[in-house]
Amino acid sequence: METSHSHHLETHSDSYLVKIKPEIKLISFFAIILSIAFLSLENNVLILLQALIVAGLLIISKLQPKTYLKRLSIDIPFILFALFLPFISKGNGEILTTLFSLSIYKTGVDEMISILIKITLCVTLAIVLTATTSNIEIIYGLQILKVSPLLISIFSFAIRYIDVFIDEVKRVKISMRSRGYSEKGLRTLKPLAFASGALLIRGYERGERVYNSMISRGFRGTLELEARQFNSSNLILLISIFSVVICIVDRLAL
Amino acid sequence: MNKQYLNVNNLSFEYPDGFKALENINLSLSKGERLAVLGPNGAGKTTLILHLNGILGDLNGQITLNEKPFSDENISQIRKSVGLVFQDPDDQLFMPTVLEDVMFGPKNFGFSDELVKKNSIKALEQVKMLQFKDKPPHHLSFGQKRKVAIASVLASEPELLVLDEPSSNLDPASRRELIDILKNLEVSVILVTHDLPMALEICNRSIILNDGKITADDETYRILKNEKVMSDNRLELPFGFALHHLEE
């Protein structure tokens, strides 16, 4: 039984962001994401400042442009959704223009721009965070921040068993192909559905076995990670405070 | 003579779907003894060892460990004393690093921080896996995972080590390492296995479980030599494996 080490997002660079305490990173990034989400987009200078903060963090992360762009593709569904908004979000009914007899509403266009800007900036921050912080460090950071132990357990199990699950999926697929199965046409969906069902049951049974193995070692509801060594950083906190201030200024100006 | 350490009296167990997994099991084990549990697939071997840790809940029958009955008050102490190593190490290793996994048990059982660390390092040394202590368990080979799973139980200083098919899926060299590790441990051992040569090498005594009942309880060598008992219980020595050199 070989494990595949399915993709891990950490890029193992020597960036300044890699070495700082994960709890500080988590809080700072969360604050920046919130201040971007609550930005009104009335003032272009403030938008530009937020974008500069995000771009700065992206540069500091030393992430390869190609990797960044590939990971950015995760926001394609949001972009597709946003592209529909000018046609369906009427707001006060003000029509900018018409395209092939479809009306394009001003409110819809504003909302589209808002979503495109905010989503791209927030997804970029998530990419920078995951590229510079390993899964374990994120869990460790959440533990320091006193996030519910139940959530931390769920998160750490998901990370631990995703590889095991992906391996199982791969083995099932190989065994299907070795018996002449190919994923073409509607008819091939039925065996796929059965295979998914089998994997689901297997996952459930594994859950039960893992739990048994935990209670046999005295588990009473909390997982505790060992302390880890990181650098402290005030710079990232300052950046996040700056971002929050931008948001507050923006809101007060309205 | 040796006082009995583990006693199982009239243990029966039925799964919720009505399947009778164990019927009237009587078994005892003295301190330091090594016992192999043999038997065909689906005989109830795994169910039996889950009971030794009080995992399957309500008991029909009685189990005592060191004269203490399995009860809600005693269960934590019993789980500390009986270390269970599961068949699939992926079920047992779930923490981010090998060391944290090994520390999981002793931490739960309330060992001091210092002792948790000391025991975990010692357990990893015993299974020769200390150099992997900071690795994530899912990056290890199957044989390495199995050794870490054993360390994760040893760190809680069990008095009785229960292993469920520990040699399955291991290459011959890993199997040999495992046998050497088990032979050097100073604890009682219950070894559930289909690997009859391994049972013979490690355990002086064996029981055969078939259809939820104990059908033989004797010296391992005598069981393996008895062709009728072997074939009645769907057991067979590996091809080319001979017992005659062990006569007397």
Separation of alpha carbons A112 and A174, rounded Å: 43
Lowest mean pLDDT among B23-27, B41-45, B64-68, B70-74: B70-74
Domain coverage including residue B3:
1-66+160-165+187-248
CB of B163 closer than 8 Å to CB of B189: yes
Separation of alpha carbons A175 and B157, rounded Å: 42
Separation of alpha carbons A188 and A185, rounded Å: 6
B119: Cβ–Cβ under 8 A, 6 or more apart, which residues? B106, B111, B154, B155, B156, B157
Of B76, B56, B52, B87, which is closest to residue B167 (Cα–Cα)?
B87
- Over 50: is that where the pLDDT of A6 sits? no
CB of B34 closer than 8 Å to CB of B56: no
Q: Is residue B85 part of a domain?
A: no
CB of B229 closer than 8 Å to CB of B223: yes
Q: Measured between CB atoms, does A164 come within 8 Å of chain B?
A: yes
Lowest mean pLDDT among A137-141, A250-254, B145-149: A250-254
Nearest CB to B104; choose among A161, A164, A217: A217
Separation of alpha carbons B93 and B137, rounded Å: 6
- Over 90: is that where the pLDDT of B172 sits? yes
- List pLDDT tens digits, range A70-109: 888 888 888 888 888 888 777 777 777 777 777 788 888 8
Separation of alpha carbons A190 and A205, rounded Å: 23
Nearest CB to A218; choose among B80, B91, B99: B80
DSSP A21: -
**Which pLDDT value is given to residue B1?**
43
- Over 80: is that where the pLDDT of A187 sits? no
- Over 80: is that where the pLDDT of B39 sits? yes
* b/e per residue B122-155 (b: at least 16 CB within 10 A): ebbebbebbebbebbbbebebbbbbbbbbbbbbb
Q: Measured between CB atoms, does A138 come within 8 Å of chain B?
A: no
Q: Measured between CB atoms, does A165 come within 8 Å of chain B?
A: no
CB-CB neighbors (< 8 A) of B86 in chain A: 209, 212-213
Q: Is residue B193 part of a domain?
A: yes
A232 vs B84, higher pLDDT: B84
**Which pLDDT value is given to residue B130?**
95
With a pLDDT cut of 70, the percent of chain B lying above it is: 97
With a pLDDT cut of 90, the percent of chain A lying above it is: 4
**Which pLDDT value is given to residue B3?**
67
Q: Measured between CB atoms, does B21 come within 8 Å of chain A?
A: no
Which residues of B, range 168-187, sit inside 8 Å of A by Cβ?
A: 169
In order of B57, B122, B168, B170, the CA distances from B190 in angstroms are 20, 22, 16, 19
Q: Measured between CB atoms, does B31 come within 8 Å of chain A?
A: no
In order of A44, A65, A132, A134, A162, the CA distances from A8 in angstroms are 36, 18, 11, 8, 11
Of B111, B207, B138, B31, which is closest to residue A158 (Cα–Cα)?
B138
Nearest CB to B169; choose among A1, A215, A220: A1
The residue of chain B with its CA nearest to that of A1 is B142
Q: Which two tokens stand for residue B156?
A: 């809680």
Separation of alpha carbons B175 and B169, rounded Å: 9
**Which pLDDT value is given to residue B245?**
64
Q: Measured between CB atoms, does A128 come within 8 Å of chain B?
A: no
**Which pLDDT value is given to residue B31?**
92
Q: Which two tokens stand for residue B96?
A: 């981010």
B246: confidence class by pLDDT, cuts 50, 70, 90: low
Of A4, A20, A236, A6, which is closest to residue A137 (Cα–Cα)?
A20
Task: Inspect the interface and report whether the beta carbons of B91 and A206 lie closer than 8 Å.
Answer: yes
- List pLDDT tens digits, range A154-171: 888 887 788 778 888 888
Interface test with A, best of B55, B87, B94 (most A CBs within 10 A): B94
**Which pLDDT value is given to residue A240?**
83
A124: confidence class by pLDDT, cuts 50, 70, 90: very high
CB of B189 closer than 8 Å to CB of B34: yes
Strand (E) or helix (H) holding A47: helix A44-60
**Which pLDDT value is given to residue A254?**
65
Of A48, A4, A56, A3, which is closest to residue A28 (Cα–Cα)?
A56
Q: Is residue B114 part of a domain?
A: no
Q: In chain A, what is the straight-line distance between the N-terminal and C-terminal CA atoms, in Å?
A: 60
Q: Is residue B153 part of a domain?
A: no
Q: Which two tokens stand for residue B129?
A: 């896996």
**Which pLDDT value is given to residue B196?**
95
B154: Cβ–Cβ under 8 A, 6 or more apart, which residues? B83, B119, B123, B126, B127, B161, B185
**Which pLDDT value is given to residue A184?**
77
**Which pLDDT value is given to residue A19?**
80
CB of B108 closer than 8 Å to CB of A218: yes
Per-residue HEC secondary structure of chain B comes to: CCCEEEEEEEEEEECCCCCEEEEEEEEEEECCCEEEEECCCCCCHHHHHHHCCCCCCCCEEEEEECCEECCCCCHHHHHHHEEEECCCHHHHCCCCCHHHHHHHHHHHCCCCHHHHHHHHHHHHHHCCCHHHCCCCHHHCCHHHHHHHHHHHHHCCCCCEEEEECCCCCCCHHHHHHHHHHHHCCCCEEEEECCCHHHHHHHCCEEEEEECCEEEEEEEHHHHHHCHHHHHHCCCCCCCCCCCHHHCC
B35: confidence class by pLDDT, cuts 50, 70, 90: very high
Residue with token string 């018409």? A98
Judged by phi (left if over 0) then psi (alpha if -120 to 50, else beta), residue B79 lies in: alpha
Of B29, B37, B132, B121, which is closest to residue B81 (Cα–Cα)?
B29
Q: Is residue B94 part of a domain?
A: no
Q: Measured between CB atoms, does B94 come within 8 Å of chain A?
A: yes
Q: Measured between CB atoms, does B146 come within 8 Å of chain A?
A: no
- List pLDDT tens digits, range B59-89: 788 899 988 888 888 888 888 999 999 988 9
**Which pLDDT value is given to residue B224?**
94
CATH code: domain of residue B237: 3.40.50.300
Q: Which two tokens stand for residue A124?
A: 């970029």
Separation of alpha carbons A110 and A47, rounded Å: 14
- For B153-162, what is the mean pLDDT? 94
B202: Cβ–Cβ under 8 A, 6 or more apart, which residues? B34, B36, B179, B182, B183, B189, B191
**Which pLDDT value is given to residue A5?**
47
Give me the half-sphere count of Cα atoms (radius 13 Å) on the Cβ side of residue B1: 5
Mean pLDDT score of chain B, rounded to an integer?
90
- Over 60: is that where the pLDDT of A1 sits? no
Lowest mean pLDDT among A181-185, B59-63, B135-139, B188-192: A181-185
Q: How many domains does chain B have?
A: 1
- For B121-143, what is the mean pLDDT? 91
Task: Inspect the interface and report whether the beta carbons of B94 and A163 lie closer than 8 Å.
Answer: no
Q: Measured between CB atoms, does B221 come within 8 Å of chain A?
A: no
- For B92-118, what is the mean pLDDT? 89
Q: Is residue B50 part of a domain?
A: yes
Q: Measured between CB atoms, does A223 come within 8 Å of chain B?
A: yes
Task: Inspect the interface and report whether the beta carbons of B138 and A225 lie closer than 8 Å.
Answer: no
